[in-house]
Amino acid sequence: IKNIAVLTSGGDAPGMNACIRAVIRTGIYNGINMFGVMQGYQGLITNNIIPMDARSVSNIIHLGGTILKTARCLEFKTKEGMQQAYDNLQARDIDALVVIGGDGTFTGAQRFSKEFGVKVIGVPGTIDNDLYGSDFTLGYDTAMNTVIEAIDKIRDTADAHDRLFFIEVMGRDSGCIALRSAVATGAEAVLLPEKQTSLDELITQLESGASTKKTSSIVIVSEGHKAGGAYDIANRVKERFNHYDTKVTILGHLQRGGSPSSFDRILGSRLGFAAVNELLKGNTEQMVGLRGNDVKTTSLDEALNKHSFKLEADLLEMAKVLSI
Ligand code: F6P
């Protein structure tokens, strides 16, 4: 391997810049020519590929977002798009890629490797913490801290006004942020994509709090919850539960920004360093992830096909017990 490129794709996640820095510098340290691809797979197709040196990644370890930008690219799913991307890499003699992103990113990378022989290593970068093979994905820890800070603030005003708040958090298919933030903030109830909670059940929970002198409550709604978004659910609850005034807050994309936590800076650095070392060993179609406190590889196949986040039964039970 002589030339390696790195890209970020899909939703951005805090810690991506720390990871890009580690990839570029580990490659350069080992005598490899390093490139950055702008806007994920889009930049591979439009030939937006730039040579990077050690100084190209100075002073970025503390920044959220991604200096390489990111995109969700439909064209890369087509044969023609992939061919164009391959031709652009060939023209620069780039034979390996580090891709930082979530499952959509890995699906593209795996096809690219199988159909065109480009060596690929994936780094799990998504706030959703939903990839098999890594206990934590890059960005999840920072996002959790952001979510908790926001919910704590809402708790103050909910208490001051005696109100019921529905707070919607991210996680299209994964209730990880929702469940763990519910435990960390002492929310009264949590609605998750992985688990049906009926309106009756939710109202019983809220009624029980009201009957034991609770004067405000917080319900966390995961955006992937099957029975609808926070506004929807709040409206339906309002019709049957009128102990407090009801308000809704959607935390939205603020969960994806901000300076990465120490955990995400270190995780991004470790995984970026490991990704390049895997390529130098000749490996491909692997994801580097954290298991226990060790960096381990998992095949992209497994990472994509095994189910990722499983609701922790103890947290589910505990969230209920501790919020009586
Ligand atoms: O990064 C993953 C994620 O945060 C999901 O939880 C969410 O559904 C999605 O991104 C939204 O991303 P966007 O609005 O940028 O497409």
Compute, in angstroms, the gap from residue 10 CA to the centroid of ligand 1.
Answer: 8
Pocket of ligand 1 (CB under 6 A): 11, 126-128, 170-172, 223, 256
The pLDDT of residue 311 is: 86
Catalytic residues: 128
Q: CA of 173: how far to CAs of 189, 203, 264, in Å? A: 19, 24, 22
Tokens matching residue 219? 């319900």
Which atom belonging to ligand 1 lies closest to the Cα atom of 72?
A: 16
Compute, in angstroms, the gap from residue 12 CA to the centroid of ligand 1.
Answer: 9
| Residue 216 labeled ligand binder | yes
The pLDDT of residue 281 is: 98
Q: CA of 104: how far to CAs of 52, 77, 167, in Å? A: 25, 10, 27
Compute, in angstroms, the gap from residue 90 CA to the centroid of ligand 1.
Answer: 32
The pLDDT of residue 227 is: 87
Among all chains, which residue has been given the structure tokens 């391959």? Answer: 86
Q: CA of 106: how far to CAs of 41, 87, 89, 240, 278, in Å? A: 11, 20, 18, 45, 16
Which atom belonging to ligand 1 lies closest to the Cα atom of 177?
A: 6
The pLDDT of residue 35 is: 98
* Residue 294 neighbours by CB distance under 10 Å: 8
- Going by alpha carbons, the residue nearest to atom 16 of ligand 1 is 11
The pLDDT of residue 149 is: 98
Q: Name residues of the chain where pLDDT drops below 50.
A: none
pTM for this structure? 0.97
Pocket test for ligand 1, best of 8, 128, 250 (most atoms within 8 A of CB): 128
- Going by alpha carbons, the residue nearest to atom 11 of ligand 1 is 11
Q: What is the pLDDT of residues 215-254, one digit of tens each?
A: 999 999 999 998 889 999 999 999 999 899 999 999 999 9
The pLDDT of residue 310 is: 81
Which atom belonging to ligand 1 lies closest to the Cα atom of 172?
A: 8
Q: What is the pLDDT of residues 110-156, one digit of tens each?
A: 999 999 999 999 999 999 999 999 999 999 999 999 999 999 999 99
Compute, in angstroms, the gap from residue 172 CA to the centroid of ligand 1.
Answer: 7
**What are the phi and psi torsion angles at 181 (to 5°)?**
-70, -30
